[in-house]
Amino acid sequence: MGVEPGTSPTHEVVNQAPPLEGYNVFLENRPLAEAVAREGGDWGQERLTAFGELCGGEALEWGRLANENPPVLHTHDRVGRRIDEVEFHPAWHNLLGMAVGHAVHSLPWREPRPGAHVVRGALMISLSQAEAGVGCPVSMTYAAVPVVRRQPEVAAEWESKLISTDYDFGLAPVAEKAGVLCGMALTEKQGGSDVRANTTTATPIGRGGPGSEYLITGHKWFCSAPMCDAFLVLAQTETGLSCFFMPRVTPDGKRNAFHIQRLKDKLGNRSNASSEVEFLGAWARMIGDEGRGVATIMEMVNHTRLDCTLGSAALMRHGIAQASHYAAHRSAFGRPLIDQPLMQNVLADLAIESEAATLVAMRLARAFDAPGDESEVLFKRLATAVSKYWICKTGVAHAGEALEVFGGNGFVEEAPMARAYREAPVNSMWEGSGNVICLDVLRALARSPQSLEVFFEEVSTAAGGDERLDRFVVQLKDELSDVIDIEVRARLIVEKLALALQASLLIAHGDASAAEAFCATRLSGGGGRAYGTLPPGTDFKAIIERHRPQV
């Protein structure tokens, strides 16, 4: 019997999961939706729902296109004039316009009300599931506003444009722009995170000092999002390292002496442009006190560290959503993957990690909503670094395990996890790699011991809820009281601080089955070092169904 013309029976497609698209990434993220309401952001439900629909819909295709068509640098025009412009695919502009239009870069500054950072954090988690690359200029603009406010004359000219919901791409004087974005250029090739080793210099035009004009000369090894309208820059003055605000276009309408040397060829975050730049007497204005550049820029860094935490929580949510969806539609050895005990163990473990990360990220966002509350300020000081370290660190392994659920299908670029896997490490390295963050935690403990007291007060809200957490906290306090070789033990200390906070939030607010499994494996040594080692008796199905998109 012959084969009917035009058919190909050997290529009949069966047992393949449909793509996870056309769904609301906010509403389907139950732990996130619950946390928003609990942490004071219930008033943002309508805008979060609308944005979640976009991020699970057409924005997914924009994310794919933006990554498959990365930015291109044009240093000169056709006749040899220096232009230093970065060309992006239209999908990038669609994504960034969507983010700016929904105030992901500015909501707490536009609407300074309780819960604004919480709602904005949930917007960021939704955005990052569509495409993480645009999170870079969005995050830096968000974080730049409180720094710019330190210099009233700069804020008067720039703040209204920084918080605008108009996306206005292209170089022009700030007065001619409907909205602007801000990047930063801090590190140099000889120093990296050791910014005090910077050699870039700032020469005053006139007397100098806060708000004064300077000419900046030097280089930056990592300049994030060089197509932005302005940058926060660190440079040396006679007094020491200072912070400056450098526009791409000077007040007289000329292009600043800000030259892009090349774009970085990165492992991930490929839709976003990262660059090496050179300043040849670039015009800038000092922000904050001379010689206090590190202290000034740390306000920006703390906000972007929050976004690192939010971004990794988003990637974990993306991972468990994709993995559970795939397992529900893919069969092997005669039954769906999602019904097989060992796969259930893996999926439930991924779900627990995702929920724990989400709860911490949103609790941390609430701390940013209370700048006048001393306890919240102290909690934020320590918890931001602790959370950034642990959630971003676990996010890398989480992405790898979620990818493996797909088997060989997960290892191809067309699958949904390859891009996420390449993206995962960036949050762990951006704004301080693991060692830098752990040393920052030690400094916080030494300089502000009250922050540790407040941190444990937060954890104690779950006291008595699970004896394993109670024992864990007692042991952790004993370890912290011993300062011998504390730098050698810094990573383990920060990890345990993070686990204590995650456990307390899961016990107090999370799914009961997830809290039980978390304490059994993360606090009591009942699990292994890989995902999928939850103990028998765990309610795998309930945990998975809480996290599986119902589409």
Query: Residue 105, by phi and psi: left (phi above 0), alpha (psi -120 to 50) or beta?
Result: alpha
d(CA 405, CA 328): 11
Q: Residue 131, SS3?
A: coil
Residue with tokens 């698209």: 21
User: What pLDDT digit, counting tens, does each position of 215-257 carry?
Assistant: 999 999 999 899 999 999 999 999 999 999 999 999 999 999 9
DSSP annotation string for 514-547: HHHHHIIIIISS-S-SSSS-PPTT--HHHHHHHH
Is the predicted pLDDT of residue 3 greater than 90, yes or no? no
- Asked if residues 318 and 351 have their Cβ atoms less than 8 Å apart, the reply is no
- Asked if residues 30 and 547 have their Cβ atoms less than 8 Å apart, the reply is yes
Is the predicted pLDDT of residue 490 greater than 50, yes or no? yes
Backbone phi, psi, residue 283, to 5°:
-75, 135
Q: Residue 328, SS3?
A: helix
d(CA 89, CA 64): 11
d(CA 143, CA 151): 15
d(CA 543, CA 313): 17
Residue with tokens 């004993």: 478
Beta strands per DSSP E along 292-362 = 331-332, 335-336
The candidate with the shortest Cα–Cα distance to 548, out of 17, 15, 61, 58, is 17
Give residue 246's Cα distance to chain centre: 24
- CA separation (Å) from 274 to 72, 77, 289, 540? 11, 21, 28, 42
- Asked if residues 297 and 243 have their Cβ atoms less than 8 Å apart, the reply is yes
- CA separation (Å) from 75 to 79, 86, 273, 281, 443? 11, 8, 14, 18, 42
Please give the pLDDT value at position 12. 86
The candidate with the shortest Cα–Cα distance to 417, out of 434, 429, 400, 431, is 400
User: Which tokens belong to 16?
Assistant: 């393949």
Is the predicted pLDDT of residue 122 greater than 60, yes or no? yes
- CA separation (Å) from 506 to 136, 385, 512? 29, 20, 8
User: Which tokens belong to 542?
Assistant: 């309930």
The candidate with the shortest Cα–Cα distance to 320, out of 393, 405, 389, is 405
User: Which tokens belong to 103?
Assistant: 């105030």
Mean predicted lDDT score pLDDT of the chain: 95
283 Cβ neighbours under 8 A, 6+ residues apart? 213, 214, 215, 216, 246, 247, 250, 256, 257
Please give the pLDDT value at position 10. 77
Element (H, E) at 233: strand 230-236
Stretch 432-448: mean pLDDT, rounded? 94
Please give the pLDDT value at position 4. 60
- Asked if residues 151 and 211 have their Cβ atoms less than 8 Å apart, the reply is yes
User: What pLDDT digit, counting tens, does each position of 463-484 carry?
Assistant: 999 999 999 999 999 999 999 9
Do the bridges between strand 258-263 and strand 230-236 make them parallel or antiparallel, or are there none, so unpaired? unpaired
DSSP annotation of 490 reads H
- Asked if residues 542 and 513 have their Cβ atoms less than 8 Å apart, the reply is yes
d(CA 510, CA 69): 40
User: What pLDDT digit, counting tens, does each position of 163-218 carry?
Assistant: 999 999 999 999 999 999 999 998 889 887 888 888 999 999 989 999 999 999 99
Is the predicted pLDDT of residue 1 greater than 50, yes or no? no
What global pTM score does this model have? Answer: 0.96
In terms of Cβ atoms closer than 10 Å to its own Cβ (0-12, 13-18, 19+), residue 472 is: buried
Do the bridges between strand 258-263 and strand 274-287 make them parallel or antiparallel, or are there none, so unpaired? antiparallel
- The mean-pLDDT minimum among 10-19, 313-322, 434-443, 448-457 falls in 10-19
Beta strands per DSSP E along 107-195 = 182-187
Q: What are the structural domains, with CATH classification, of the chain?
A: 30-158 (no CATH), 172-292 (2.40.110.20), 296-547 (1.20.140.10)
Task: State the angle between helix axes of 341-368 and 30-38 in degrees (0 to 180), rounded to the nearest 10.
Answer: 30
The candidate with the shortest Cα–Cα distance to 502, out of 379, 375, 318, 353, is 353
Q: Where does 372-433 have alpha helices with state H?
A: 374-405, 417-429
Stretch 39-43: mean pLDDT, rounded? 98
User: What pLDDT digit, counting tens, does each position of 53-112 carry?
Assistant: 999 999 999 999 999 999 999 999 999 999 999 999 999 999 999 999 999 999 999 999
Is the predicted pLDDT of residue 22 greater than 90, yes or no? yes
d(CA 202, CA 205): 10
- CA separation (Å) from 299 to 381, 482, 530? 11, 30, 36
Q: How confident is the model at residue 307 (pLDDT cuts 50, 70, 90)?
A: very high
d(CA 14, CA 523): 43
